[in-house]
Structure 1
Amino acid sequence: MTESPTAAVQAARQQLAARLREIRKEAELTATELARRLDWYPSKVSRIEHARTPPGTADIRAWCAACGAENLADDLVASAQTADSMYMEWRRVQRTGLRHLQESRVELYERTRLFRIYCSTVVPGLLQTPSYATALLNSISRFHRTPNDVAEAVDARMRRSQVLFVNGNRFSVLVEESVLRYRIGDSETMAGQLGYLLTLMSLPSVSLGVIPFSASRPLWTLETFNVFDDARVHVELLSAAVKITAPGEVEQYVRASKELAGMAVYGSAARDLITSAIAHLR
């Protein structure tokens, strides 16, 4: 199996920690001596050097100053900020509600031309109806205990979905058959959502594949992910969003998307699975 999506984040933090440890040793300081200079507990130096506690910007600048390496501070601060941006806890990005997160991704969606989308749990956001999005975002708001701005967040999500109708954009969308069966909202909401998928399938820019329960699986069910122009990946976990830009890791998700596509059915076969799910609601 591939590594956890958080592996790249931890690796980046470990590299930063190792570089700070090297700077201390190059200054010929022990951890205790550095802590004394910074008026820190020695345990704080140890936690930073072992990547157990991510250092803040002020910590990095103070560390470099105490070691006579002020010229290295800017690069190390940038490295720390990159690592932090790779792993964003939902409770941090949703602390003011859900609308801001929807709006913050508009620029990325507008400049992307090729979208590879895989969902194993819910209908992808770009393909959601307002009713389905409302039911889903209400669940997310309740679980994460965010301020309730679901109506505004749904409006923002619908505006973001307009990229579906921009000439030149392409969407390779894969969902597990279970997505068609998991009931988000009431029966009417699900029927409307499934009917909308049938409508979107007629768009020349949208390739919608459904991976049937009966499919032979050379690749296991994965976490939900979105690939943007084969250059950036967003992975959605229960507690956080992970952004991946390292070419080697992005390539793994592109390859996974292609393998999953090989398990999917399209066209009339996919329509049959969707209409069957609609009939099941009744």
Structure 2
Amino acid sequence: MSLLVVKDLKKAFGGNIAVDGVSFELKAGELLALIGPNGAGKTTTFNMVNGQLPATAGSIQLNGRELVGRPPRQIAHMGVGRTFQIAATFASLTVIENVQLAILAHERKIYSFWKPAASYYRDKAMSLLEQVGMDSQAERPCSELAYGDVKRVELAIGLANDPVLLLMDEPTAGMAPKERNELMALTKKLVIDRNMAVLFTEHSMDVVFAYADRMIVLARGRLIAEGSAEDIRNHPKVQEVYFGTGKTFEKKQSDATA
């Protein structure tokens, strides 16, 4: 049974149709990549799933419950987590305090300024940091971290609401190849260990082909292909839309890893 079911999703901005009848499903324990050239409708689709953008038409169901029409905060409390293309942490706070604040927000708690945030949910925050390999740096200010480590902290923050579905927007943007692979290998492990689903957008084709269980490809707001790495690599429409007639996907993928 699918965890996420998106059916006939549509988004119009005035007379411009950004997403046109997109449908796909995602199961627990699966890592699904949403890819496509610039202007394909990836980000619009992504933002409709977590409620940042209202859908013009269609349905988005999580465990049989409709998400369309709900605000992002309510969707988060239904079990949808989110990370962003540009890592967002409080630089002056420690690693663990950043995660504790995320847990506080999920639990709808308001902490007293007379009682430091560091006294709340410390055990749970440390457990999340252990899962992403950042427990040894828990007391360091985020301002002192390397960018790859900041992205790991952001991943822990994304897990603060114990999501069944995690949305990752360009998770490896700005990272070196080694860091990209380490972060996605960690994400893949979390998908398996927590039996959650991940939907992610990504421009680095080496990351997509190495770690995604399946891929869906958008072009001009429509879904043009869906399947495994091999299916997508050999799909003639994907070849044409991404790289133009006569160019090969294998060459573009090798360029991405160079």
If the length of structure 2 is used for normalisation, what is the TM-score? 0.28
Q: Please identify which structure carries the higher strand content.
A: 2
Higher relative contact order (CA 8 A, sep 6+): 2
